[in-house]
Structure 1
Amino acid sequence: MAAEWSYFVNKRPLCAAVVLGPRAASRRFLESAGEFSVTLCAEEQAALADFAGSFSVTDVDKTGSDLVRLGAPEATATPWVTGGVLAVECRLRQAVPLPVHTLFIGEVVAAHLPERPPRPLVKHGAMHTLGEPVRRTEIVAAAELRHGDGDVLRVAATGPAADGPGEWRVTLLDTDGTPTPLGSHPSTRYDDLLVDIPLPAGIERHRLPGHRVLVERAGAQPGRTRISGTGR
């Protein structure tokens, strides 16, 4: 069947879920077998996805189509459709009743990846292929005054770098735009910025409302942010 509402819902263990309506004939097979497989379609499988979603198993045995090529299961007794971006075999772990539909959650016990990953098929009303990747050009930042033994400015930012990970330059701007450098800081685990910076000497907390923080790095448009937490 064509199960549009299919998701990964947990990492460890990896779980996949499908949402089936009350009239979906496949749900009784899923419940009886206690397992299922999911194939994420490639863009070349648009015709197959349309066909699978147009007929029920009670109408015709769809596996007889030349477009349906089944792979042998490794960890379950349920075959999977080849040619997709990814196929997973799942053992049913939980059925969650929703107001109309039912969410079936399965633990992934085997996965099948093609040698050359194809482009995915995107279903959003009509079927779509993926376009060009979004080019990130600007830094997005936030700053918060955190209180403890000493006031520190916590700065978080994301944004591209010209040639891989690069340092982040943080500057405090007063209400007139006068800059106070707050140093250069390395990226965190995912090439983002999350750093606690002690307030420089002479910068008093009650003067921070109206100040802004400027975050820069090579290869990106600078990001600016107001400072939250200054009203305490």
Structure 2
Amino acid sequence: MSHELPGQLWKSLTSTIGLVSVRTGDRVNVMSAEWSYFVNKDPLYVAVVLGPSSDTRRLLTAGDQFSVTFCSEDQAELADFAGSFSTTDIDKTTSELVTFGEPEVTDTPWVKGGLLALECELRDIVPFPVHQMFVGEAVAAHVPPTSGPPLVKHGPMYTLGAPVQRTAVVAAAQYIDDETIRVAATGPAAEVDEWRITLTGRDGEDVDLGTHPSAEYGDFLADLSLPQSARSHDGARVRVERPGAKPGFARLAPRRPA
């Protein structure tokens, strides 16, 4: 059996597209980085991954700051253009599609028109076999009053459609001890905030474990006491119901010896 990975496997995945700006003297270079991500929440860190042929990679290695604009769907043509030429080919900022915003903390302007633009101070450079990841701390954010859906890469460029509507509960369950099980579940929001938990034995007999409210973040997580009659239900199923949603089921594995 071959363990070789198919070529260009990364194109099967989805990534976000950023427009990265780097200042050198009086000039600013803009390039597209289709691997642009958030990598820490507080403080907010963003990373852009650049290939060996990127002039921006060379400029960033010698610098200490950059800006990145996460593209909206209206910037597909600009993203394609900015990724097709290097700063040694042409001054891409002469395109009328490139409009800069004034920086507030750094010296690097940011491209207008995206979902979010961040001024970043370079914090780390992570080398990989071919690419390099440049990690910056966001020190200023620029959020437009309105914006369209994000522009993403999945082979070609795509925009996102309507949000996925959750219609079903997903549940898991395990024994805590001989008298207690822990049940976890997620599901869509409901007008009546309740979760009904039922234990079903291998004989098909149901044991009602009650109706319970959501946990702090709208999901369900609780330890439930088993009635005496249900403490020998090895191989049982747990059913979790939520108003307006398909129920979720979990296998309750046999208790393990202490």
The interval holding the TM-score normalised by the smaller chain is over 0.9
**1:5 maps to which of 23, 35, 43:** 35
The alpha-carbon distance between structure 1 residues 229 and 23, as it changes in their structure 2 partners (threshold 3 A), is farther
Among candidates 98, 101, 124, match of residue 68 of structure 1: 98
Which amino acid in the other structure matches residue 80 of structure 1? Answer: W
Partner of 1:214: 239
Choose from 151, 175, 191 the match for 2:179: 151
Aligned to 1:183: 210
Alpha-carbon distance in structure 2 between the residues aligned to 1:229 and 1:110: 53
- The aligned residue for residue 200 of structure 1 is 227
Aligned with residue 160 of structure 1, among 175, 181, 188: 188
Written as runs of structure 1 = structure 2, the 5 A alignment for 1:52-67 is 52-67=82-97
Amino acid paired to 1:217: R
Matched, 1:111 2:141: yes
Correspondent of 1:40 among 64, 70, 83: 70
Which residue identity lines up with residue 17 of structure 1 in the other structure?
A
User: 1:125 is matched with which residue?
Assistant: 155
In structure 1, the partner of 2:4 is none
Query: Distance in 1 between the 2:120 and 2:180 partners?
Result: 48
| Paired residues, number | 227
Q: Distance in 2 between matches of 1:40 and 1:169?
A: 42
Does the CA contact (< 8 Å) of 2:207 and 2:230 recur in 1? no
Q: Distance in 2 between matches of 1:178 and 1:129?
A: 48
CA contact (8 A) 1:168 1:216 kept: yes
Once the two structures are aligned, what percentage of the paired residues are identical?
58
Instruction: Classify the secondary structure of the residue corresponding to 2:197.
Output: strand
Deviation of the 1:7 alpha carbon: 0.4
Match of 2:252 in 1: 227
Q: Which residue of 1 aligns with 2:126?
A: 96
- The CA distance in 2 between the partners of 1:50 and 1:143, in whole Å, is 48
Q: Residues 113-150 of structure 1, C-alpha deviation per residue, up to 9 Å, x if partnerless?
A: 00013211111111111122212111110000013xx6
Pair 1:86 & 2:113 matched: no
Query: 1-side partners of 2:149 and 2:158: how far apart?
Result: 11
Give the C-alpha shift of residue 229 in structure 1: 5.7
Equivalent AA in structure 1 for residue 202 of structure 2: T
How many Å separate the matches in 1 of 2:73 and 2:82?
Answer: 15
Q: Tell me the secondary structure at the aligned position of residue 111 of structure 1.
A: strand
RMSD over aligned Cα, in angstroms? 1.3
1:103 aligned partner, one-letter code: M
User: Once the two structures are superposed, what CA deviation does each residue of 1:139-166 show, in whole Å capped at 9, x if it has no partner?
Assistant: 110000013xx63100000111333x61
1:5-25 deviation line (CA, Å, top 9, x unaligned): 110000111100011112210
Residue 208 of structure 1, CA deviation: 2.7
Find the counterpart in structure 1 of residue 9 from structure 2: none
SS in 2 for 1:2: strand
Unaligned regions of 5+ residues in structure 1, if any? none
More off after superposition, 88-97 vs 22-31? 22-31
Q: Quick check: 2:199–2:237 contact (8 Å CA) kept in 1?
A: yes
